[in-house]
Amino acid sequence: MAHSKLSTPSLGTPQHFLECDIKNCERNCQFYCNPCHQQMCEQCRDEHLKNPEYKNHEVVLYQQRKRQLPVEKCKIHPTKDIDMLCEECQLPLCSKCATQEDHRRHTFIDLETVYTDKMALCLEEISKVNEYFLPTSQDLQKEIKGDSTEIKMIMDSIRRTMKADGESLKNMADKVVSENIQQVDNIEQSLLEKLQSQDTRVNDYISYLHDLVKKFHGYISSSKLTDIIPKLSEKFQEIRLIPETTKPVTPVFTAGQYSKDDVAKLMGKIIVKDTNAEIREIKSMEIVPPSTSMEFTSQQKKRDRHRKSDVKQTMSLSSSVTEARKVNVPGVNQIWHMSLEKSGRLWVSDDECNLVQTAVQGNQLQKIQSSGEYGYHTVTQDGDLIFTDIYNNVINKITLDNNITAEFINTGDWEPLSIHSSHINGDILVGMGENGETKVTRYNKTGKELQNIQRDNKGQKLYSRPIYITENINGDVCVSDFDKEAVVVVNKSGQRRFSYRGQESGFRPRGICTDVLGHILVCDNTTVHLLDQDGQFLSLLLTKQHGIDDAISVCVDDENNLYVGQHNNNTVTVYKYLQ
C-alpha cells in the first residue's frame, strides 16, 4: 500500500492524510523516528522501542521530527554523503572533509539538525504567507476593486448630474429666448397695427384729394357760368390739412454680456480635494479571535482613520443641550414630518396630509392639501417641494416660485414612503414598498431612476418598513426602519455598513437626520440618539428631562440647530447641541 507523505507544502498545496510507515499498518501517523526516518502510529512506536536494536532511537511527535537529509554526494569525496556543517565556514561537508587541514579545530554540527531547523523556518514563513500575507493582500485587492466600482458609480453620478444641470440650464435658456422672442413678436404686432392705422388715414386723405381734384376739373370743363359761379362760391373751401403721422420707435436689443467662465460658474464645477490620499488599513499580523472586542477594535480603527483624514472642523459637541426656541405651526394638528428650506423656512406635515410652510416666527406662509398618508416631503436644492402620494404611487413637485404642482415621478406598483433630497448632488432617495418587498430607489434631480438598494451581498432583505430616510456627509444612505427596529446604513454603492438597534430592546426608530460633523440623529419616542458616522453610539442627546414625550421627526438647519417635532402637538422645539 502506498503511504502518503507530508512533503513541504507550497501555496495552494493540500495536506494529505498521514499513515504509519510500518508494513501492513494503516493506522494514523502520530510519531516519527528521527534515526529511522519513519512515521509511526502509537502502537508501532511502542513496539519499535521495545526492540533492543532501536531502544535508544529518538522517537518524537510528528510535528517535532527531524527532516531526512536529501542524499547529496561530496564533490571532493564522491563516495561520501554530505552530512555535517562546519560552523566556522558555514559549509556543508562530508565526514572525510572534516579531517582536512582547512577545517582543523573547527566545530561541526549535525547537518540534519540544521536542515530541520531551516525547513521549520521555511514552513513558518509559508504559514505566514498562507494565513496572513496572502489573505490580507486578497482583502486589499477586493477593497481596491470595490473602490474601483464605487469610483465608477460616483463618476457616473457626477456625469449624470452635470448632464442634468446642462439640460436644466439649456431648458431655462430656451425658455428665456422663447419669452424674449414672444415679446419681440408682441412689440412688432403693436407697431404694425399703429402703422396700418396711419396708412389707412393717409389713404383716406389721398382719396379725398383725388375726389377734390376731380370736382375742380368738372368746374373747369363746364361752360355754364350760371352753374359754375354759385357752386364755386359755395363749395370752394380751404383744402384739409395732411393728417399727422408718427414714426415708429423700434426697440433696441442689448446682447447678453457673458463668457465661457460665466457659464461654467452657472454649471458648477468638480473639485478634487488637495489632500494626501488615505493609506489603506492593513490589519495587524497579531491573531485576534473573532469577538465583539475585535469588532470594536475594527470600528475604532475606522473612526481614528476617518478623524485623521478629515478636514478639521470648527464645530464640536456642546457639553450640554439648550432649548433655543419653540415654533408653533398653525394649520396642522400634530407634527409628522419636517423639511427645512435654505431660507430657514420650515415645512411640516401631519397625518391628514396637511402640508404647511411656516416662517421662523411661526406664522403660516402657505398650506397645501395632498393625498396619501402623512405627507412625507423634502425640499430640493432648487428650493422646490416634492412629496409622496401612496394612493396613486406618484411623487409630486411644487415649483415654489410659481406654485405649479405637477407629477414628478411615477413609481409604478411601488408605494413611495419616505423621501429625501440629497444636499450633496440633488439626487432623490425614496423608500418604498410593494407586496411585502421594500427598497430604496435613487433618482437624479430630473426624476430618472439611477439605483435600487434592496438586498445585501448575502441576498438578505435590507429593509422592512423604511419610514424615514436621509443621507450622511460621506454619501451613506441612512434609513429608519420601524418594523426592523433598527437604523440601517448602506454606503453610496448600496453595500450594508452597519445597523443600529438602540440601547435597549423595543427600539422603534422614527425621524432621522445627519449634521455637519457626520453625526446620525434618530428619535425614538422619548429620546433622541446620537451616533457617529460609523454607527457607534455616543449619547442620548435628548430625553424626557428635555421635554421629549412623543418625538417623531428631527432635522438640522444650516446653523446647526436641531429641530424636534412631536406627534402629540403642533409645536416644533429647536435645540442647540453644537458649539
Q: Which residue has the cell 502510529?
A: 41
| pLDDT tens digits, 450-496 | 999 998 888 889 999 999 999 999 999 999 998 999 999 999 888 89
Q: What is the pLDDT of residues 157-203, one digit of tens each?
A: 788 878 888 888 888 889 989 999 999 999 999 999 999 999 999 99
Edge to edge, the sheet with strand 428-434 lists 415-421, 428-434, 437-443, 449-453
Contact by Cβ (8 Å): 392, 371: yes
> Does residue 122 share a domain with residue 47?
no
Residue 184 included in any domain: yes
Cα gap 578→517, rounded to integer Å: 10
Say yes or no to pLDDT of 11 above 90: no
Summarize pLDDT for 73-114 with one digit per residue, the tens. Answer: 999 999 998 989 998 899 999 988 988 888 888 999 888 888
Say which residues have a Cβ less than 8 Å from residue 367's Cβ, sequence separation at least 6: 331, 354, 355, 356, 357
Could you tell me which residues come within 8 angstroms of residue 527 by beta carbon, excluding any fewer than 6 positions away?
A: 540, 542, 543, 544, 548, 551
pLDDT at residue number 295: 37
Q: How confident is the model at residue 9 (pLDDT cuts 50, 70, 90)?
A: very low
Indicate whether 558 belongs to any domain: yes
Cα of 21 vs its chain's centroid, Å: 62
Q: Is 300 domain-assigned?
A: no
* Amino acid 314: pLDDT: 60
pLDDT grade, residue 400 (50/70/90)?
A: low
Label residue 24 left, alpha or beta by phi (over 0 means left) and psi (-120 to 50 means alpha).
left
Contacts 24+ apart (CB under 8 A), 7-16: 8/119, 8/122, 8/123, 8/126, 9/123, 9/126, 10/126, 11/126, 11/129, 11/130, 11/134
CA distance 325 to 561: 10
Q: How many CB atoms lie within 10 A of CB 151?
A: 10
Residue 478 has which C-alpha cell? 441612512
CB burial readout 514-545, b (16+ within 10 A) else e: bbeebbbbbbbbbbbbbbbbbbeeeebbbeee
Give the pLDDT confidence of 47-62 residue by residue, as tens digits. 899 998 898 898 998 8
pLDDT, mean over the chain = 83
Instruction: Give the pLDDT of residue 236.
Output: 55
What is the model's pTM? 0.49
Indicate if 350 and 234 belong to the same structural domain. no
Residues 122 and 24 in one domain: no
Number of structural domains the chain divides into: 3
Could you tell me if 349 and 235 lie in one domain?
A: no
Separation CA 528–CA 524 (nearest Å) = 6
pLDDT tens figures, 135-154: 889 888 888 888 888 888 88
Does residue 199 share a domain with residue 61?
no
d(CA 80, CA 71): 10
Of 253, 283, 303, the residue that ends a domain is: 253
Q: Which of 519, 507, 526 is nearest to 577 (CA)?
A: 519
| DSSP code of residue 543 | -
341 near 383, Cβ under 8 Å? yes
Angle at 401 between CA 395 and CA 403, to 5 degrees: 50
pLDDT of residue 194: 92
Beta strands in 57-175 (DSSP E): 59-61, 84-86, 91-93, 108-110
> Are 55 and 128 in a shared domain?
no
Q: Of 52, 1, 4, nearest to 25 (Cα)?
A: 1
Cα(82)–Cα(74) distance, integer angstroms: 6
- Is residue 287 domain-resident? no
416 shares its domain with 565: yes
Measure the N-to-C terminal CA separation of the chain; round to a whole number of Å: 80
Name which residue leads in pLDDT, 575 or 291: 575
Q: Assign 3-class secondary structure to 503-515.
A: CCCCCCCCCEEEC
Specify whether 445 is located in the same domain as 533.
yes
Using the 3D structure, point to which of 218, 253, 288 is the last residue of a domain: 253
What is the structure's pLDDT at 299?
44
Q: Looking at this protein, which amino acid is placed at residue 189? A: Q
Task: Quote the CA–CA distance of 107 and 113 in Å, as a whole number.
Answer: 14
What's residue 274's pLDDT?
Answer: 58
Q: Kindly state whether residues 152 and 59 are assigned to the same domain.
A: no
Distance of CA 147 to the CA centre of its chain: 12
* CATH number for the domain harbouring residue 510: 2.120.10.30
Per the document, the length of the chain is 579
User: Using CA atoms, how far apart are residues 251 and 548, in angstroms rounded to an integer?
Assistant: 64
Residue 385 to residue 403: CA distance in whole angstroms: 10
Same domain, 221 and 149: yes
CA–CA distances in Å: residue 566 to residues 3, 231, 488, 505? 77, 101, 23, 22
Residue 5's pLDDT is 41
Helix, strand or coil, per DSSP, at residue 143: helix
Percent of the chain with pLDDT over 70: 87
**H/E segment holding residue 346:** strand 346-349
Estimate to the nearest angstrom the gap between the alpha carbon of 484 and the chain centroid: 22
Cα–Cα distance for residue pair 386/341, rounded to 1 Å? 12
Q: What is the pLDDT of residue 316?
A: 77
What CATH code is carried by the domain that includes residue 30? 3.30.160
What's the number of CA atoms in the CB half-sphere (13 Å) around residue 26? 2
The pLDDT of residue 3: 43
**pLDDT tens, position by position, 497-554:** 999 999 888 899 999 999 999 999 999 989 999 999 999 999 999 999 888 988 999 9
Residue 330, beta-bridge partner list:
none
H or E element, residue 180: helix 134-221
313, pLDDT greater than 90: no
Grid cell of 209 as nine digits: 384729394
pLDDT at 232: 64
Domain presence at residue 293: no
Q: 227-267 pLDDT, tens per residue? A: 666 666 555 567 888 999 999 888 888 888 878 887 877 77
- The range of the structural domain enclosing residue 33 comes to 16-65
The C-alpha cell at 394 is 406618484
Q: Is residue 289 part of a domain?
A: no
Statement to judge: residues 124 and 53 lie in one domain: no
Last-in-domain residue among 205, 223, 253: 253
pLDDT, residue 237, reads 61
- Which residue, among 98, 96, 76, has the nearest Cα to 87 in the 3D structure? 98
The answer to whether position 463 is within a domain reads yes
271 contact partners, CB below 8 Å, separation of at least 6: none
Q: Is residue 286 part of a domain?
A: no
Whether residue 149 sits in one domain with residue 31: no
What is the pLDDT at residue 66? 81
Burial of 171 (0-12, 13-18, 19+ CB in 10 A): exposed
Average pLDDT over residues 332-361: 85
- pLDDT value of position 275: 61
Q: Is 118 exposed, middle or buried (0-12, 13-18, 19+ CB in 10 A)?
A: exposed
